[in-house]
């Protein structure tokens, strides 16, 4: 009797084990094998690629390095972008773009803006003031009372510099200099944002864990992004709030080749958003970033509520 019970239990255990093995194998190789894939490490994922796939990953890495390694380029190269209010064109006047500065162009923030606008046929108005040169309009978007004139101060163009020495690991160093744009001298690899600010209302947005996001990822993995924002609490005295966790910001994973949105998530009260990486079929260069957000009603309609963040390149392996 004991032999029968032992045999019965052993057979049951073998059947259960066989079922588990069968399930785990089918789970690992099925098209919807998200959780199995997410348990892999970057090293094991790379080892699983064939020679062609590995070459594709290496080619994409070289593409990113060529785009973002300004230190190896001749001259002074800075990255610049221009984020305006939403006048029906989506608000972005200039996407992230490298600009080369020379002795003939000059090296200030204003010089970089003038070069970028000239290269891309964007209108620019600069006026002389007692404090130095002042940018009053870009792309036809002029300083004005965006909200009620009872607020007593203008909305208009502000700039931020993310110095090369702080990139990519310290996005909160992307702060507002006190210098006039014509006085702030740029270094090789610096990044400059011009954005149309509605004081007290517009959040300037960063991905606070920018440097912690892995460069290589794959289907089924989750990518955690922490979003923080900063704005003027007192525009009269030019006082800025600290960077704080920002809820309601949309974080996206987009394909570099065509801008297609592959995944998105909205940040919670702690500023955290979690993206789930979809399958892409072959190694694909993508970008993670916080979308720009605009006010949709009232006096502020069309104005920037939250600026877009700088984007983070990632390669989705498969």
CATH number at 163 reads 2.170.130.30
Q: Strands 312-316 and 216-217: what pairing?
A: parallel
Last residue of some domain: 197, 221, 240?
A: 197
> Mean pLDDT in the chain?
84
Looking at per-residue pLDDT, the higher value among 76 and 30 belongs to 76
- 153 confidence band (pLDDT: 50, 70, 90): confident
Between CA 26 and CA 18 the distance in angstroms is 12
Both 110 and 211 in one domain: the answer is: no
Q: Tell me if 286 sits within 8 A of 181, measured CB to CB.
A: no
Between CA 114 and CA 252 the distance in angstroms is 30
Both 57 and 89 in one domain: the answer is: no
Structural domain range at position 180:
69-197
Amino acid 42: pLDDT: 72
CA Rg value for the chain: 25
How many domains does the chain divide into?
A: 2
Amino acid 18: pLDDT: 36
Both 76 and 44 in one domain: the answer is: no
Q: What is the pLDDT of residues 257-301, one digit of tens each?
A: 999 999 999 999 999 999 999 999 899 999 999 999 999 988 899
Residue 114 lies in a domain: yes
Residue 3 lies in a domain: no
What percent of the chain clears pLDDT 90, i.e. is strictly above it?
Answer: 61
Both 184 and 75 in one domain: the answer is: yes
For residue 6, is pLDDT > 50? no
Q: What angle do CA 108, 205, 171 make, to 5 degrees?
A: 65
- 3 confidence band (pLDDT: 50, 70, 90): very low
Amino acid 179: pLDDT: 86
- 74 confidence band (pLDDT: 50, 70, 90): confident
Between CA 146 and CA 155 the distance in angstroms is 6
- 52 confidence band (pLDDT: 50, 70, 90): confident
Both 280 and 313 in one domain: the answer is: yes
Both 64 and 206 in one domain: the answer is: yes
Residue 157 lies in a domain: yes
Structure-derived torsion over alpha carbons of residues 249, 242, 312, 157, reported in degrees to the nearest 10: 80
Amino acid 147: pLDDT: 76
Both 90 and 40 in one domain: the answer is: no
Q: Tell me if 144 sits within 8 A of 154, measured CB to CB.
A: yes
The residue assigned the tokens 């064109």 is: 89
Both 77 and 146 in one domain: the answer is: yes
CATH number of the domain that 52 lies in? Answer: 2.60.40.10
Last residue of some domain: 150, 167, 197?
A: 197
Last residue of some domain: 138, 169, 197?
A: 197
Q: What is the pLDDT of residues 12-22, one digit of tens each?
A: 333 333 333 33
């Amino acid at each position: 009797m004991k032999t029968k019970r032992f045999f019965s239990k052993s057979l049951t255990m073998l059947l259960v084990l066989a079922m588990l093995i069968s399930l785990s194998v089918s789970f690992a190789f099925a098209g919807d094998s998200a959780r199995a894939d997410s348990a892999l490490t970057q090293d094991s994922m790379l080892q699983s690629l064939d020679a062609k796939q590995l070459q594709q990953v290496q080619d994409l890495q070289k593409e990113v390095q060529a785009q973002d390694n300004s230190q190896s380029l001749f001259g002074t190269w800075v990255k610049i972008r221009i984020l305006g209010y939403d006048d029906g064109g989506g608000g972005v006047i200039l996407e992230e773009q490298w600009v080369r500065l020379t002795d003939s162009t000059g090296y200030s923030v204003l010089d970089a803006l003038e070069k970028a606008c000239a290269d891309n046929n964007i209108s620019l108005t600069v006026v002389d003031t007692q404090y130095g040169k002042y940018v009053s309009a870009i792309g036809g978007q002029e300083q004005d009372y965006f909200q009620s004139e009872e607020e007593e101060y203008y909305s208009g163009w502000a700039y931020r510099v993310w110095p090369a020495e702080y990139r990519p690991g310290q996005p909160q160093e992307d702060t507002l200099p006190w210098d006039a744009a014509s006085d702030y001298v740029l270094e090789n690899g610096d990044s400059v944002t011009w954005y149309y600010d509605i004081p007290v209302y517009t959040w300037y947005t960063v991905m606070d864990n920018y440097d912690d996001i892995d460069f290589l990822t794959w289907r089924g993995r989750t990518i955690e992004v922490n979003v923080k924002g900063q704005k003027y609490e007192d525009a009269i005295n030019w006082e800025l709030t600290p960077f704080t966790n920002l809820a309601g910001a949309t974080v996206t994973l987009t394909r570099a080749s065509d801008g297609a949105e592959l995944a998105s998530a909205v940040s919670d009260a702690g500023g955290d958003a979690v993206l789930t990486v979809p399958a892409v079929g072959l190694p694909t260069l993508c970008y993670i970033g916080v979308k720009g957000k605009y006010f949709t009603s009232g006096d502020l309609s069309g104005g920037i509520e939250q600026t877009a963040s700088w984007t983070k390149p990632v390669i989705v392996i498969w």
